[in-house]
Amino acid sequence: MSSLLIPKVIGHRGAAAYAPENTLSSIHAAADLGIEWVELDVKLTRDGTAVIFHDESLLRCAGVDALIKDMDWKDVQELDAGSWYGDSFIGEKIPSLEDALNVVIERGLGLNLELKPCAGREKETAEIALDIASRIWSEDGPQPLISSFQHVSLETTMDMIPEWPRALLLDEHHENWREIAEYLDIATLNINGNTATREEVEDYIELQKPLLAYTINDTELARELMRWGVDGVFADNPDVIREAIETQH
């Protein structure tokens, strides 16, 4: 597993404060801000197309009261994933993983790809997404960091592309987190920075792996986490958070 050069701030779902999350516009927005890495979520449609989307339901970001797992790709392509955010994004589409990766590569960005499977599709989501990513991703640049809350998805990643770095996502502090992290041979630990205590952070740091915290849009919290020893944060407003960290004394 190659050594990771992870920036202190990663754009969350692109740059979700400036464009509809997980869209091509959001990836471009992060790149335009000079952000080095973005985080994107990948799920599967009913017919097994890997798409960049976070929620189970299409309601919040596409205005349709349906689950993405119940819709085929041809129908998902018809949806408007931008108008909820603002008039200037009317007509923005839910991108396929392939289209999103091409933009990430074209803009020279690093990537944290979160496997966000619907229940029961933990292995399938990893298999399909990684098959696409491994064909598209350049061998020249830094390898993408593959993250998930789902241990089966990370196990599948470990089996398919062991050389790509893996990240275990933790929403809360579990007693057996270390055992799971060591079993999955993770490269980074990605924690909920809004709820983690200083004692928990100190516990995580003992693993001696880069510690990343999501989703940190508050400048003071970002600074505090850095003082505690967190190595990097995910932010919807990555330019604002980066400036706050860089000017910290």
Q: Is 163 exposed, middle or buried (0-12, 13-18, 19+ CB in 10 A)?
A: exposed
* Residue 230 identity (one-letter amino acid): V
Q: Assign 2 a pLDDT band (cuts: 50, 70, 90).
A: very low
The pLDDT of residue 31 = 98
The model's pLDDT over 50-108, given as tens digits with 9 standing for 90+, comes to: 999 999 999 999 999 999 999 999 999 999 999 999 999 999 999 999 999 999 999 99
The pLDDT of residue 3 = 61
Tokens, residue 94: 């839910």
Average pLDDT over residues 160-178: 96
Examine the residue annotation and report whether 12 is marked as an active-site residue of this protein. Answer: yes
**Beta strands per DSSP E along 85-242:** 110-115, 145-148, 166-170, 188-192, 211-214, 232-235
Q: Taking the domains of the chain in order of start, what are their residue ranges? A: 9-57+97-246
Q: Which of 12, 151, 174, 249 is catalytic?
A: 12
Examine the residue annotation and report whether 151 is marked as an active-site residue of this protein. Answer: no
Q: Which of 28, 54, 173, 249 is catalytic?
A: 54
The model's pLDDT over 107-166, given as tens digits with 9 standing for 90+, comes to: 999 999 999 999 999 999 999 999 999 999 977 778 999 999 999 999 999 999 999 999
> Domain 9-57+97-246 sits in which CATH superfamily?
Phosphatidylinositol (PI) phosphodiesterase (3.20.20.190)
Q: If you ran DSSP here, which 8-state letter would residue 182 be given?
A: H
Tokens, residue 174: 């579990």
